[in-house]
Structure 1
Amino acid sequence: MSAKTSSEETGEETAHVSNYLPKLDLSLIPILGCTYTILFLDRTNIANARIEGLEKGLHMPANGYATCLWIFFIPFVLIEIPSNMIMSLPRIRPNVFLGINMIILGIISTCQGLTKSYGGLLALRFLMGIFEATLPAGAAYLISEYYTRKEAPLRFAMFFTFGILGPCISGLLAYGIRNMNGIQGKEGWRWIFILEGIFTIAISFLVFFLVPDFPERTKVLSGAEKAHLLEKLRRDKGDQKLSIRSVNWVKTLGDYKIWFPTLMFFCCDMTAASMSAFIPTILTELGWKAARAQYMSIPIWLTGIVAQLFSCWVSGKVGWRFPFVLMGIMIAMVGWIIQIVYSETHAVSPGVRYFSLFAMSGGSFIQMAMTTSWMTNNLRGRASVAVGTAMILGLGNCANFVASNVFIKKEAPYYPTGFRTGLGLTMAGAVVCMTFVGLLWMHNKKLDKKRRDGTGRVDDQVEYRYQY
C-alpha cells in the first residue's frame, strides 16, 4: 500500500512539474534573454559605428577607440555585485528595477548618436557601463532562483542563446542602417546608435510588464503551483531567502565556488570576444563581401546555439557539468590551433580557417552556460547566488577588454599576439576546471568520511555535497 501511495505521489509531482515548467520558461527566458541580447547589441554597435566613420566624425585621437572600450568595463565590473544585492531587497521588484535601468540605458545609448564630442562619447560609455551591468547579472540571478540544479543548465543555455543572437543580427542591422547616412543631416554611424537605443527603450517597457517577481511572490503560478515550486526548491537548494544582516560577506566574496567558475568563464569568453576581431578578415579572404559576408557569419553563431542547447540538455539528464566544460575547451582549442598554424606558416586555406570558427563558437558557448549553471548548482542562499551571478557575468566578461587589446590592427590578418593569447587562456581554463573539480572532490570525500563516522549531517543550508 505504501509503495502504491509513493508511486501516486511521484506521479502527481511529475504532473505538477510538467504543467508549470513550460509556463515558467515562457514567462522568464524570452524577456530576460532579451536583456542579454541588448547587452551584445550595445557592445557591438560601437564597432559597427567605427566602420561607418565614428572616429573621423568625432575627431578621436589614435587611442580613442580603445579608450571607449575599456572605460565601459570599469563601472560594469564594479556595479554588478551591489546591483544584484539591491535587487534582492524585500521591497525591490525585479521588473521595476530591471525596467528602469534598461530605459535609462536606452536613453544613454541613443545619446551616443547625438553627442558632438569625443569627451561626450567617453562620458556616455562610462554611464552605459553602470546601467548595463544591472541587466545580465540581474536576469541570470532571477533565473537561478526558479530552477533546481537539474533544471538550471538548459535554462541558462536558453538565456545565453539570446546573447548569441546579438552578433548574429548586429552586423546585418548596421549594414541596413548605414543606408540612412545623411537623413536629417546625420551620418550613418549616428543612426546605428540612435535606432538601437530606441529599440532598447522599447524592450524596457516589456520588461516592466512581463518580468515576474521572485518565486515566493510570483503571480505567474497558481497558489498550489507556487507552493509546490517553493517546496521543490527548498528540498533541492535549501532556504534561499536573504537576510543581509546574517550574511558573512568576507566568506561570500571569497568563496572559491564563485571564483573558479568566474575564471573559467573569463577564459572561455576570450574565445567568443575574440571571434568578432577576425571573422571579417577570414570571410574577406574567402571572397565574400558586404551582405554575403554578414550572412555567412550567421552559421558560425548558430553552431554555438545548437552546441550549447544540446550539451546543457544532456548535462541536465546525466547530472554532470565538468566533462562538458572540458569537452568545450578541447573543441575551442582545435580552432585556436588552426589559427596559430595559419599565423606561423600562412599555409592554412581560408576554408579550414572558416571551419575553425565553428569549432571556436561551439566550444566556447558550451562552456558559458555550463559554467554558470555549475556555479549556481554549488551555492546555497540568495546572497551567494546574487554575488556569484554578478561576478561571473561581470569579471568574466572582462575578456572583451583583453580581446580588444591583443588583436593588434597592424598584425592583421595573422594576429600572432591575439591567437597565442587566446590559446593560452583556453588552456588555462582547462587547468582551472580540473583544479576546481579536485577541490569539490576533496570536499565531498571529507563529508562522506564524516557521515560514515556518524558526525556529518544530511544535506542542509551549511553542509552539503557539491556537484561536479
Structure 2
Amino acid sequence: MEPDIKDSPKHSVQIVEEKGSVEPEQTLYNAHINTAEIDERKVMRKIDLRLIPWFSLLYLLSFLDRTSIGNAKVYNLERDLEISDNQYLISLTVFFIAYAIFEVPSNIFLKRLRPSVWFAFLMVMWGLIMTLQGVAHNFGGLVGLRWMLGTFEAGLYPGMAYYLSCYYKRKELGIRTALFTSATTLSGAFGGLLAAAISNMGGVAGRPAWSWIFILEGLATILAGVASYWIVQDFPDTAKFLSEAERTFVVRRLQGDDQYSAAGEKLQMKNVLSSFRDWKTWFSMVQLMGCDMPLYAFSLFTPSIINQGFRATPANLLTVPIYAFAAVVTCFVALYADKHGRRGYCNIVMLSIGGIGYIILIVSRNAALSYFAVYVATCGIFPVVPNTVTWIANNQEGVYKRGVTLALAISMGNINGAVSSNVYRARDTPWYSLGHALVLMYICIGIIANSTFLYLLKKENARRDRGERDEVIGSEELEDNGNGRYATVEDAKREKGDNWSGYRYML
C-alpha cells in the first residue's frame, strides 16, 4: 500500500496515514449522549455564576489574611510583641517558604480528591491559624503561625487557577482568572478600610487593635471554609450542578480547543514528570518570579510607603483608590488579551509601564509624587500576574502536567515573595530607595523572560507550520521520521499533549 499524505484542515500539518486504515481524528466523548439542544451561552453563564463569584471571595480572604500583617504593623504590632524590624521581616519570609513548598503536592491532591473537600479543609485550617495570630505574644509564636499559615494557604491560588483551566477554553480563561485574581486588588482596598474600622476595637477584652484584625479576619475565613464544602463544585465531568448532557458538552468543547485530556487522565508518574522535562515550565517560573515579587512587596508595604507622608489610618485609607484602579486595569488587560490572544505582548507593555512607576518612586522625594507613582506601578504588577498564569495554563496540555506546571511556577513566584518581605527595611524609611530598586530589577527580569518566552513560542509554532514536527500515523511499514509513530491521531494527541504537531501555542 502507498502512504497517503493528508493535510489536517484544523492545524495545517501533514499527517501520514496508510490507505485503508484511516482512523477518526478524535473519539467523541460520551458518544451516546446528544448535546445538540444545549445552549452554549446558557451553560457558560451557569458555570460563571457558580465558580467565579465564590472563588473571588475565597481569594480575597486568602490575600487579605496573608497581607493583613502589613496593616497590623502600623497599629504597633512590633512594639507589643517586642520584636525588631528584622524579626518582623523574618515572620514575613517564613510564610512564603512554606507556601512554595506545599503548592505542587496540593495541586496533585486537588485532582485526586473532590475540590469541595480539599478547598474547605485548607480554608478552615488557615482561618484557625489566622485567628491564633491574634493571641501571639512573642516572636517565636508569630513565626510558627506564619509558617502554618503559608502551609495551608499554599493550595488555594494554584488550585483555583488549575481548576478554572479545566472548565474554560484557552481564550476564555484570561478574564475569569483576572476576575478572581482581582480580589488581590479588592483585598488591598478592603483590607485598608477593614483595618481602619477594626482599629477602633483596640482595648476591647484587653486586646490591642492589631490583635482584633487577625481574630476577626480569621473567623470570617473559617465560616467561608465551612460553606465551601457545599458551594465549591467538582470537576466538569462530575459536576453535580450540570446535567449529564451539559457535562458532556463542556468536555467536548474543551477537547475541541486542544485540551485532549479534558475527559480524564490517570495519575501516572510520567504525567507529573513531563512538567519537569518541559522547557516551558522553567521559563514560566522566571516569568512569575518577575511579577510575584513586586506583587507581594507592593501589597505588604504600600501602607508603610504611603505612611511616609500620612498617619497610620489615613495611610491605610489612601490605599483604597489605588487598588480600585488596579482592579479596573487588570480586567481591561485580560479582556484585551482574551480577544486578541496577545498575552505576551500585554505582559511586556504593562511591565514596562510599571517600571516607569518604580523609577519615579526611586527618584521622588515628595509624598504626593510618590503617591502618584504608586498608581503607575500597579499597571506593571496586578494585570501581569493573572495574565501570566493564564498564559502558562494555555500552553500546557495534560491535566496533571498543567496542574504541576502551574504549581511549580506559582511556587517560584512565591519563593521570591520571601525576597519581597526583606527589601523594605525600617532604616530606609521614608523613601525606601533600596526596596524600589530591587522591585524594578525584578520587573526587568520579567520583561526579559516574557520577551524570550514569546520569541521561542513563535519559533516553535513556525516549525510546526512548516511540518517539521509531524508524526507518522500508520503501520510500522512506514519510515519513522524521528517525531514518533502512532496508530491514530488520537493516540498522538494523548501521548504527546502540547508536543503534538497539531497543537499551537498561544502568544
**1: CA distance, partners of 2:285 / 2:101:** 15
Asked if the contact 1:35/1:136 (under 8 Å) is kept, the reply is: no
- Out of 155, 165, 171, the position equivalent to 1:134 is 155
| Equivalent residue, structure 2, for 1:358 | 375
Of 253, 256, 261, 2:276 maps to: 253
Q: Specify which of 104, 107, 123 is matched with residue 125 of structure 2.
A: 104
Structure 1 Cα separation of the partners of residues 232 and 300 of structure 2: 34
Q: Of 93, 112, 128, which residue of structure 2 is paired with 1:70?
A: 93
SS at match of 1:216: coil
What is the Cα deviation at residue 55 of structure 1? Answer: 2.5
The one of 409, 412, 430 equivalent to 2:429 is 412
Query: How far is the alpha carbon of 1:25 from its aligned partner?
Result: 0.9
Q: Would the aligned equivalents of 1:272 and 1:360 in 2 still touch at CA under 8 Å?
A: no
In structure 1, the residue corresponding to 2:383 is in which secondary structure? helix
Aligned residue number for residue 493 of structure 2: 460
Say whether residues 1:227 and 2:248 are aligned partners. yes
Would you say the 8 A contact 1:58–1:116 is kept in 2?
yes
Residue of structure 2 in register with 1:213 after alignment:
234
Q: CA deviation at 1:414?
A: 2.4
- Matched with 1:16 is 39
Equivalent residue of 2:155, what SS? helix
Q: Tell me if 1:331 matches 2:347.
A: no
Q: Secondary structure at the match of 1:460?
A: helix
* Structure 1 equivalent of residue 208 of structure 2: 187
Q: CA offset at residue 340 of structure 1?
A: 2.2
Residues 52 and 294 of structure 1: is their aligned pair in 2 closer, same or farther, counting only changes over 3 Å?
A: closer
- Give the distance between the partners of 1:81 and 1:222, measured in 2 at CA: 32
SS, match of residue 228 in structure 1: helix
Q: TM-score, normalised by structure 1?
A: 0.90
Paired residues in the alignment total 449
Question: How far did residue 332 of structure 1 move?
Answer: 0.5
1:454 Cα deviation (Å)? 8.3
**Counterpart selection for 1:49 from 53, 72, 76:** 72
Q: Name structure 2 gaps, 5 residues minimum.
A: 1-34, 473-482, 484-488
CA contact (8 A) 2:308 2:431 kept: no
1:381-421 Cα offsets, whole Å, 9 max, x none, are 11112112212332213333222212222112222211221
**Aligned residue in 2 for 1:307:** 329
Say whether 1:320 aligns with 2:342: yes
* Identical columns (%): 33
- The CA deviation string for residues 43-81 of structure 1, in whole angstroms up to 9 with x for no partner, is 122222222232333333553211211111222111110
How far apart are the structure 2 equivalents of 1:154 and 1:17? 18
CA RMSD of aligned residues (A): 2.3
Counterpart AA for 1:22: R
Contact preservation (8 Å) 2:99, 2:414:
no
Paired with 2:196 and 2:174, the residues of 1 have a C-alpha distance of 35
Q: Distance in 1 between matches of 2:292 and 2:445?
A: 12
Contact 1:33 1:160 in 2 (8 A): yes
Match of 1:445 in 2: 462
Unaligned runs of 5+ in 1: 1-11
1:369 to 354, 376, 386: 386
State TM-score, norm by structure 2. Answer: 0.83
Give the structure with the larger helix fraction: 1
Kept after mapping to 2: 8 A contact 1:303/1:362: no
Amino acid at match of 1:359: V
Structure-to-structure mapping, 1:282-301, within 5 angstroms: 283-284=306-307, 288-301=310-323
Shift of 1:191: 1.2
Report the residue type matching 2:341 in the other structure: G
